[in-house]
Homo-oligomer: A and B are copies of this chain.
Amino acid sequence: MFDIEIYKARRAKLRATVGSGKILLLGNDEASINFAHNWYPYRQDSTFLYYFGLSIPGLIGVLDCDGDQDYLFGNDYQIDDIVWTGPQPTLRELGEKVGVESTFPLAKVSAQLNAKVHILPPYRGEHTLKLREILSKSVEEVSSMASIPLIKAIAAQRNIKAPEELVEMNKAVTTTSAIHLAVMKAARPGMKEYELVAVARRIAAENNVSLSFPPIATINGQTLHNHYYGNTIEAGDIVLFDCGAESPEFYAGDMTRTFPVSATFDSRQRELYEIVFRAHRAAVDSLHAGVKFIDVHLIAAKTLVSGLKEVGLMKGDAEEAVNAGAHTMFFQCGLGHMMGLDVHDMENLGEQYVGYTPELQKSTVFGLKSLRLGKELEENNVITVEPGIYIIPELIDLNKADGKFKDFINYDKLETYRDFGGIRVEEDFVINADGSTLLGNSVAIAPEEVEKVRSQALKS
């Protein structure tokens, strides 16, 4: 946990920004796997962590904007519990750790609230059920009564990372870096994809932290959300590994590397890898406070198109191709996202509030609709940059049948790449006034660096 004053200041700022009414922040309870008392690893709600710091189930926080006071609700352990759990701090002691003097049993929370209550959108069934009970509202009501002023105030606050948060994020990405280097070294022809995941789980567990999202470890990198780990990795394959670890205070890391199972890429792999890497460098070079991330995304897209033209997969003017969306044949998703206590930071608050502004609304067009962050970057935003080339056979067939992008795509040549797979590289950056700072340790990313790691690993 951070210093007590940090939590007090964060809450005071939120109260001041929201201005009036009571803010209800639910802590997370345990999450049941296959019966009520068999639990997944506990994860506190990120907003509750941000304002109340306590990574313990069964807590609720209330901020009274009018009375300038904060309340913590929870139930003290009874002796019967203590036989099973060992001695536990009292609610009063927990409150003291984060500067909350007013602590009450959970049953008292409803009485503390009035008509003007600000809540966040629920993302677990338990949230909906609990809000329903506390607020005496219907399921439908609590699912649609999230407070926009609260969401905006939290997004504005959490989007700018304070120094103590940047230290934590660097820890998260440093552990993440260690995982990526270990996986890049560990891969051998004949291994299963899940053996690479095992390396990640071991290193996270050895650091007593969780992974920040389900890892992707696949020879089918073209499948963007791929959580299947059952394939054997063979010489000639490329492995796409996307994984992040949390820091001790639950901040996220998120990195991707794509590497050959053999010592080197084959010529096609190397060509497309070079293009992705060039797009990555172009995007990173464009980062600074004041640039719109959607423009950085488009710089990456144009760089991809230029490269794809060089290898004969695309044709025509790069700018026109991107304007027409033709790059989405290869790059269907966004260039990156905000990162913080959540890997997609505050995704539960709504991307339009975290990554966009009233003036810059999120696009609904294929490709840009998957860009989680479009707005102008500010100092101490933390973001990912993750361009890629993904050859998706189903998408080729669909677009070809529709006659889409035929001025920009060389479908004949593309057909010869149907089974190519996918490539992505991803790093995490803090935005500065005039550039950006890489978080974590630098892990081989230039193609020659990656091949060097692989060659040495296969010799050892």
Contacts and interface: CB of A to CB of B under 8 A. Distances in A.
A128 to B, nearest CB: 6
Nearest to A29: B125
A398 B35 contact: no
Report the 9 A-B pairs with minimum CB-CB distance, sorted nearest first.
Answer: A125-B125, A198-B205, A86-B223, A202-B202, A125-B126, A35-B348, A194-B208, A35-B347, A198-B206
A43 B40 CA distance: 10
Contacts of A111: none
A88 to B, nearest CB: 10
Contacts of A342: 34-35, 38
Interface residues of A, number: 69
A316 B28 CA distance: 48
Contacts of A179: none
Interface stretch (A17-25, A77-85, A291-299, A448-456): A77-85
Interface stretch (A61-69, A224-232, A270-278, A379-387): A224-232
Contact of A202 (B201, B346, B348): B201
Interface string A326-357: 00000010000000011110111000000000
A459 interface: no
How many copies of this chain are found per oligomer?
2
A398 B33 CA distance: 34
A164 interface: no
Contact of A40 (B31, B125, B205): B31
Interface string A376-405: 000000000000000010110010000000
A32 interface: yes
Interface in A34-56: 34-43, 45-46
A37 B41 CA distance: 17
A80 B46 CA distance: 30
Contacts of A198: 201-203, 205-206
A132 B128 CA distance: 13
Given A84-B225, A202-B202, A202-B205, 4 more contacts: A32-B124, A33-B43, A86-B222, A194-B208
B33 A223 contact: no
A87 interface: yes
A85 B32 contact: no
Interface in A118-143: 123-129, 132, 139
Contact of A125 (B128, B348, B392): B128
A341 B46 CA distance: 32
Interface string A205-245: 11010000110000010111111111000000000000000
Interface in A224-270: 224-230
Contacts of A13: none
A197 interface: yes
Contacts of A197: 205
Select the residue from A34, A343, A346 with max chain B CB neighbours within 10 A: A34
Interface of A: 28, 31-43, 45-46, 79, 82-87, 123-129, 132, 139, 192, 194-195, 197-199, 201-206, 208, 213-214, 220, 222-230, 332, 341-344, 346-348, 392, 394-395, 398
A213 B346 CA distance: 29
Given A85-B225, A197-B205, A201-B202, A347 B214 contact: no
A57 to B, nearest CB: 11
A79 B192 contact: no
A28 B31 CA distance: 13
B208 A192 contact: yes
Contacts of A194: 205-206, 208
A389 to B, nearest CB: 14
Nearest to A31: B31
A108 B83 CA distance: 48
A111 B430 CA distance: 53
A161 to B, nearest CB: 17
Nearest to A343: B38
Nearest to A38: B213
A34 B158 CA distance: 15
A210 B152 CA distance: 39
A83 B205 contact: no
Contact of A348 (B34, B46, B124, B213): B34
Contacts of A39: 214
